[in-house]
Structure 1
Amino acid sequence: MSAPYDLVIVGLSLSSAWGNGHATTFRALIRGLKTHGRNVLFLERNVPWYAGNRDLPEPDFCTLAYYDSVEELTAHYGAALQSAEAVIVGSYVPEGVAVIDALDQLQLRNWHFYDIDTPVTLGKLGRGDEEYIARRQIPLFDSYLSFSGGPTLARLESEFGARLAQALYCSVDAERYGPTGDTHKWDLGYLGTYSPDRQPVLERLLIEPARRLPHMRFVVAGAQFPADIVWPDNVERIEHVAPADHPGFYNQQRFTLNVTRADMVAAGWSPSVRLFEAGACGTPVISDIWMGIDRIFPADAIVLARDSDDVVRALSEVSPAQRNAMAASARRHVLAEHSGSARAGELIAMLEPGRRNLDLSTGKAAS
C-alpha cells in the first residue's frame, strides 16, 4: 500500500450503503476532504453482507482497500497507518475492540474514534456491552469525535474518560444532492431502515395522517419492515432506494419526514443525515422533536411535529408559497453549514494535535 496518506479511516463500510448510514456519512465527508486537498485511505472489513451489495466499489475520491482479519489489517496496512498524519477508527467496525487494541500497539501519533452511533454506544457501554469499543479504550484516543453534540460531549469526558470530545455531525455531498426538477409524486415520504423504536413515531407522524388524508399520497422507503404492518392504501412501500437515487426521491416529495432513534432523541443534538439530504434538495422537513434541533436547523425551514394533528395541519394548510420559502431556507442553511466540504474543514481543524478550544455545546471552534 503506497504511503503516506494524510488520513487513514478504519470504518464499517464505504463501499455499501445497504442497511447502514455509515457509508453515506463517510462518502460526503471524504469527498469534502478531497476538496481540501487531503489524500485518504479507507480500510473496510471484507464481509459477505456488504460484498454482495456494493454500490460504490471503486470510489474516485479516496483509496478503498479491504482486509479479512485484524491480523491482516496491521500486517498489510501497518506502515500506512503509522505514517499517516491522522487515523480515525469508526464505530461498529467488526471486531472493533480487537482492532483498537491492535492499532494501539502500532503507537499511532494522532488517532481518533469517530462514533456515528454515540447514544447507542453509551447505552451499550452502560449495560457492559462492548461490541465495538471497550470502555477502557476510550482514553487511548487523542479525541472522541461524536455524532451527538451538546451535553453528551461533557459526559464523554467526565464519565467515560475521553481526552477531548468533539461533535462531528453528519453532512451531505452538495454536488450530488440538490433540486432535480422532478414533479411531486407524494405529499409526504420517509426514508429509513425499520427499527422498533422508530416505528411508533412513524405510525403517529405518517401512517395515521395517511389514514386521515386518504386523498393524499405517502411513501415509506426502507428495508426490514415486518410483513404484518398494515399500511393504508395511499402509502406506497419501496424496499430500497440507492444513494444515487436519493435526490430524485426527495424531490418527488412535497414534504419529507425525519424520525429519530429513541437513544438519539434522549441524548439530543443528534441530527440525521436525512435532514441535510432533504434540505440540500430543497425539500421541507417535518421532524420529530429533540433537544438541539432548533440550533442545528433553522426554524423557518422545518415543521416540528409532536403528533398526527401537527402533520395533518402542515400537509393541509401550508401554502405553496410558504413551502417554497421553507425549501429555500433549508437549502441555504445546509449548503453553508452542513455540506461535506464544510464538515471536512471542521474535521481538519479538530485533528490538529493539542486542540482544545471548542464550545462543547455545539462542537464548533470557540471564538
Structure 2
Amino acid sequence: MNRPHQFQLMDTHAGGDVSRIVTGGIDLLPGSSVREQMEYLRDSADGLRELLLFEPYGIPEMSVDLLVPATDPAAAAGYIIMEVMGYPIYSGSNTLCAATAVLEAGIVPKKEGLSRFKLEAPAGLVQIEARVHNDIVESVTCEGLPSYIDTYRATVNVPDLGAVVYTVAYSGGFYALIDARDLGFNLVRDEERALADCAYKIVEAIQAERGFSHYTLGDVGPLPFLHFMGPEEHVGEGYYRSRSATYVHPGVICRSTTGTGTSARLALMHYEGRLQAGDRLETISLRETGFIGTVTGIRQEDQLQVVDNTITGRSYVLAHSDVVINCDDPLVGCDGLHHILSDRDTSLPDNA
C-alpha cells in the first residue's frame, strides 16, 4: 500500500481557459533556470502533467501551471506551463492566471492600486502589471513574446476543403492564421466542434508539407496552433475588435482567444500596415470573453519586423483545494511522478 500524497492547488481561469496552479506538494526540481526545470519535468517527470490534465482529475482543455522559486533574482516567482500538447515556453492566458495566483497566495503583496513585478517563465522574464481594487485583482497586463510574420498568404491543399490560404506568425509558438469567412465560419459557439475539426485538417496538411524555424531559437517543432480571424471592427482611434478562435490540439478550441493568438494577430495587422505602436486589438472568443493586445514597439531583426506587445485580461479564482493522489487507485497513473512528490508542505513562502 502506498501512502496518499497531496497537492495544493488554486484553480483559476482567464477568458474561460482554466489554469490549475500547483502551489505545493512537489519537490524542488533540478535546473539552474526555470527553462531547465521545465525540461526536466518534460523529460523525466511528465506524470504530473498527465495526472492533472486527464481523468479523474482534469480534462485536456485545461492547463496546469507549477509555481516554482525563481532562479533570476529579478523575478518574484517562476512558473512552468503544462498543456495537453506539452510544455509551451510561454502562454498569455497562463501568465495572467499565474500572476493572479502569486498575488492571491501572498508571494507578491496584494496592494491596492497598480503593482509591477516580474515572473520567470521558461521563455525568460515577463513584466507584469496588476491592478487591485477592494482586494480584488481586476486586471493583469503581461508582456507577450516578440511576434513576427514568418510566411504571408501561402496556400495549402487540404482534404475536403481544397486550397486554403494561410499566414504563419510566431508569437510563442507558430500559428497558422486563417480568415474564418473564407471557410464559411461566423465564429459563434455552435461552430466549436466544426472549427476544431476544420483546424485539425489544416494543421495536419501544413505539417505534412513543411516545417518552420525561429530566427533565434531554430527548430521548435511542427506548427501546432491555428487562429481563426473574424472581421475587424474599428471602434476608436487606434482601437480594433475582432472575433477569434484558437485551436491548440485535436478536438480542442480554447475557451479564450489566447494571449499568443492575440499577439500573432498584432504581428499580422502590423505587417499589413494596419497597426502601429500604441494601437490595440481586442479579440473576442466564442464565449464572448476578450483579451486586449497592445503594440508596444516595432523593431527590425534579421529582415523581420518584430512586434513587441502586451496582453491585458482578467483571471478569476475558482477554487483552493488539496488534491489527494492515491497511487493505489487504478484510475490514477503515478508513473513518472513518484520521484517529485514531496513528503512535506512545499507551498511557496511569501516573497519566494
Q: TM-score, normalized by length of structure 1?
A: 0.29
Please identify which structure carries the higher strand content: 2
Q: TM-score, normalized by length of structure 2?
A: 0.30
Please identify which structure carries the higher helix content: 1
Larger RCO: Structure 1 or Structure 2 (Cα < 8 Å, ≥ 6 residues apart)? 2
